[in-house]
Amino acid sequence: MIGRGGKAACLVAGLAVALGVAAVARADEGMWPYDHAPVEQIRQACGFAPSQAWLDHLRLSSVDPGASAAFVSPDGLILTNHHVALSSVQRVSTPEHNYVRDGFFAATREQEIPLPGNTLKVLVSIQEVAARVTAGVKPGMSPAQARAAREAAITEIEAECLQQTGLKGEVVALYGGAHHDLYRYKEFTDVRLVFVPELQAAFFGGDWDNFCYPRWDLDIAFLRAYENGKPARVEHWLHVNPEGARDGDAVFVSGNPGRTQRLKTLGYLEYGRDLVYPERLARTQHQREVLRGYLARGEEQARRGRTLDYFYGNTLKRVEGELAGLRDPRLMAKKQADEKALRAAVEADASLASRYGGAWERLAAAYAWAAAHETDRLYRNEMPGGRFFGTALNLVRLQTEAARPDLDRLPGYHESELPDLLRRLGSPSPVYKDMEEVMAADAFRRLLGGLGADDPFVQAVLQGRTPEDAARFYLEGTRLDDAAVRRELAKDGGRGVAGSDDVLLALARRLDPLLRGQEKAFRDNVRAVEESAETDIAQARFAVYGDKAYPDATGTLRFGFGKVAGYPSATTLVPPFTTWYGLYDRALSFGDRGDFTLTARQRERRDRLDLGGVLDMACTADITGGNSGSPLVDRDGRLVGVAFDGNQTSHANQFVYDETEARCVCVDVRGILQALGTLYDARPLVDELLAGAR
């Protein structure tokens, strides 16, 4: 659903490099694959053991719109976050109908607005395919060879799935590649907008309050899946519990956490702390400043750049949090102790030692290589100029890769990946050339400053122009901003690309060979080593600690649990819930201005609200970026809230799950129902939600 940034744009908890150091998950910890739900752990923590049918129902009610969501009525009604739907809503907004600013509610099905370019997925089945994936890996193979063998098997399995079942198949590598499963998805491509509140209500407090709690945000959106032009009839959907959850109640979360790296080695953390994160932080800060210069030009520019600005703000808080964690000596010491214990256990067993003992050294060598090639990583590993420029590289590569045997293609261009790529290339998401020019000029300046004018890569980009002139040259000359043009070029395996003299395509053609060389070197020397060594470490962990560990998040559907709970923060207590009173306090405390402005509805209908009613909620479920829009259910499987953020009370704690302070922040179902009924006159929606509760 996130058009621009994919999962990266809906990062939730600032936990993307979240590193769990406990050998065995503690109470409430873990993002569990549905086929490895820790039933006994849940029973101990919650006094309730979910049945298989209970788990299946929650899984089949869960929807992947690029982040997380859930069916909440038999007629395909879907609840997710406003910020998950934002790009799509922006795309169908116009100056006359500004749904982002004003919100939207379709009182009838006919009024529901199609959101083209969206795909929703439901995880239909999970099948273990580990043996088949690793069958081609033979002793004595180099890491690169082993990787190629696994990739070949994966490509074959995914293609076979689509062919045999018509379902999209995805081979999912878990436990650092120790396990592989085939996930089969039912897809919905006709998605329509039912309801969004005003951006200001959804994102009250703006970037300031993002990653914070307490919050008073109505970060919700209702969509509807259609099939054959009619609302999809779905068998599995979540009933609503209009009473919500109480403080201390067990809650369960289902969603698609994007990425955790809790099993990464100390060597990786040091590399990140010393090189990757400080640079990323500085660069993102700089990019945001540049963008804000553009935003300041006027209201229309501010509207155009809003999503990107939000993306930068979100990224900054996350990167700041991660870096603070990496710089916390206490955390590093903990990680060190954990790694030492695992390595000692491996060394103590001759068989484990011979199989896995070398993994850490191999990784250390890989990160040393990466550190030695830092300049390449910073300047030569992606198409410069921004995401839109990347589209040109996608088209050029589509043309060359589609003509090759599937197994020989670059990652991202395999047959099974082409539908996604084509959808992205053809997305009607508008390209604002003036904004792209500002950002591209900055990217070119950075390139020139980093590599110097004599560098071949720089020369290929600038061709003697200044960064500003080059950015203008490409953006004035290109027609790739037109989605129809891109679609036409992409047709039939990118056949039209070769004949185009578009200046951006020409740039991509010049850079492609240079980038391929760098990408291959990094793949072979770092990523392939990581995959192989981390597989070893994950397997070693299993050998030592058994199967009570959960795998790192990889963007696939996961199940979690926890309880509704406030927490101590610094020297005080943070409450488990927030009320509508707090919305008005925070707005008026700042003078009802800026990011803390009330909406007209909030101002005018205040007296109709039960101000003491619950609006948002905090719980201990273990989530991360990608969980945005995740349903929270009670032990009866009834919806009590929707996750939209994670708190950031303690940077030092965020690399290790710790239920003392880490919290998943949700819009409470009571807040949703009261808002719909009282502020938005959306009775039909309330009725549809409550039909199951009656």
Which residues contact a second copy (rule: CB under 8 A)? 205, 208-212, 214, 247, 317, 320, 566, 570-573, 575-582, 584-586, 588-591, 596, 611-612, 648-649
Task: Supply the minimum distance, in Å, between the C-beta of residue 617 and a second copy.
Answer: 10
- Between 265 and 602, CB nearer to a second copy: 602
Specify the 3-state DSSP secondary structure of 129.
coil
Q: At closest approach, how far in Å is the CB of 626 from a second copy? A: 20
Cα–Cα distance list, 181 to 55, 56, 497, 530, 690 (Å): 18, 17, 36, 20, 37
Smallest distance, a second copy to C-beta of residue 638, A: 21
For 632, the enclosing helix (H) or strand (E) is strand 631-633
How far apart are CB 579 and a second copy at their closest, in Å?
5
CA distances in angstroms from 540 to 18, 339, 345, 567, 661, listed in the order given: 20, 12, 9, 35, 30
Pick the closer one to a second copy by CB: 617 or 623.
Answer: 617
Cis peptide before 214 (omega within 30 of 0): yes
Q: Shortest distance, CB of residue 563 to a second copy, whole angstroms? A: 15
Of 73 and 650, the one with the shorter C-beta distance to a second copy is: 650
* Contact (Cβ atoms closer than 8 angstroms) between residue 680 and residue 197: yes
Alpha helices, H only, 121-251: 130-134, 143-165, 199-202, 206-209
Instruction: Scan for tokens 């880490």, then name that residue.
Output: 662
Please name every residue paired with 127 in a beta bridge, in sequence order, or none if there are none. Answer: 182
Q: Of the two residues 428 and 575, which places its CB atom closer to a second copy in the complex?
A: 575
For a second copy, give the closer residue by CB, 310 or 596: 596
- Three-state DSSP class for 604? helix
Neighbours of 453 (CB within 10 A): 10
167 vs 667, which CB is nearer to a second copy?
667
Q: Which is nearer to a second copy, 305 or 313 (CB)?
A: 313
From the CB of 631, what's the least distance to a second copy, in Å? Answer: 23
494 or 576: CB nearest a second copy: 576
| Residue 277 CB, nearest approach to a second copy (Å) | 16
Work out the angle at residue 257's Cα, subtended by the Cα atoms of residues 559 and 281, and round it to the nearest 5 degrees. 155
Tell me the Ramachandran region of residue 458: left when phi exceeds 0, alpha when psi lies from -120 to 50, beta otherwise: alpha
Tallying the residues shown for the chain, one arrives at: 694
Cα–Cα distance measured from residue 84 to residue 490, given in angstroms and rounded to the nearest whole number: 27
Place of tokens 């704690």: 653
Nearest distance, CB of residue 569 and a second copy, angstroms:
10
Q: Nearest distance from residue 214's CB to a second copy, in Å? A: 7
Our CB check for a second copy shows the closer of 209 and 502 to be 209
* CA 9/CA 690 separation, integer angstroms: 32
Using the structure block, give the residue that is written with the tokens 């029973």. Answer: 43
